[in-house]
Amino acid sequence: MALPIGVWRFLGALREHSRDEYVLERASMQQRSDEELLAGSLKGHSGDFKLLVERYESELFNFLYRLTGDRQTAEDLFQETFLLVYTKMDVFRPDAAFRPWVYTIAANLARDTMRKRRTRRALSLDANLGADENGRFGDMLAGDSPEPQAMLDMNESADLAHELVKRLPENLREVVVLYFFNAMKYSQISEVLGLPMGTVKSRLFRAVRHMAADLKAKRGY
């Protein structure tokens, strides 16, 4: 038996209303902070945790990819990171920030993975980068060059930037990735990696000199 046209219109209106409600709810969830989404996840709201994973999917994957240099490893580590987040979210401090916490988990997992591949080389670093926290990748490389204008602007060649970063020792690479590619300040990197602020600065300075030397050799300077 066919339904009257008025009933079809009514059902169509209900569907439109449901879609509108979903869009509004989704928009409202997007506006919530990471910490609010984690709190909602702890209460059993699966949609909150799903949104949290989606929010960090690109950013955290890229961090892990640049750190490990392997796409499959980065994907595995990303999944392991949020598995740990899910299992440990009940110990997350309400007054803490989620972003440094999830990066700490990801960095530790990446360290463990890379440690299994090779013996970590210990470096003695005693340089100090200084107080400026607004440096740019290309500028800092150029600053160590006798001809700054001839140095590469890393914004113009992501492939070369990735190559230079990949060739760094692990303990220098993680600082570079967090500082330049994830726009973290020294204090945030210190928290994520569990390092003194001075060590973060000196490792960054050493890494920049290392990459500048590689770039000069590559270009025949």
Residue 74: what pLDDT?
A: 92
211: amino acid identity, one letter: M
Q: pTM of the entire structure?
A: 0.64
- Token pair, residue 9, equals 């219109």
Residue 138: what pLDDT?
A: 54
In CATH terms, the fold of domain 137-219 is Arc Repressor Mutant, subunit A (1.10.10)
Q: How far apart are CA 135 and CA 63, in angstroms?
A: 19
Contact 154, 214 (CB under 8 A): no
Task: Select 34-117's CATH number: 1.10.3720.10, 1.10.1740.10, 3.30.70.260, 1.10.10.10.
Answer: 1.10.1740.10
Domain ranges of the chain: 34-117, 137-219
CA distances from 22 to 19, 32, 47 (A): 5, 16, 12
CA distances from 59 to 53, 117, 118, 177, 210 (A): 10, 24, 26, 11, 25
Residue 194: what pLDDT?
A: 92
Residue 124: what pLDDT?
A: 33
92: amino acid identity, one letter: F
Residue 211: what pLDDT?
A: 87
Residue 218: what pLDDT?
A: 75
Residue 201: what pLDDT?
A: 92
Per-run averaged pLDDT (10 residues), the chain, 221 residues: 56 60 50 90 88 93 90 92 91 89 93 71 36 52 42 54 86 90 90 92 90 80 55
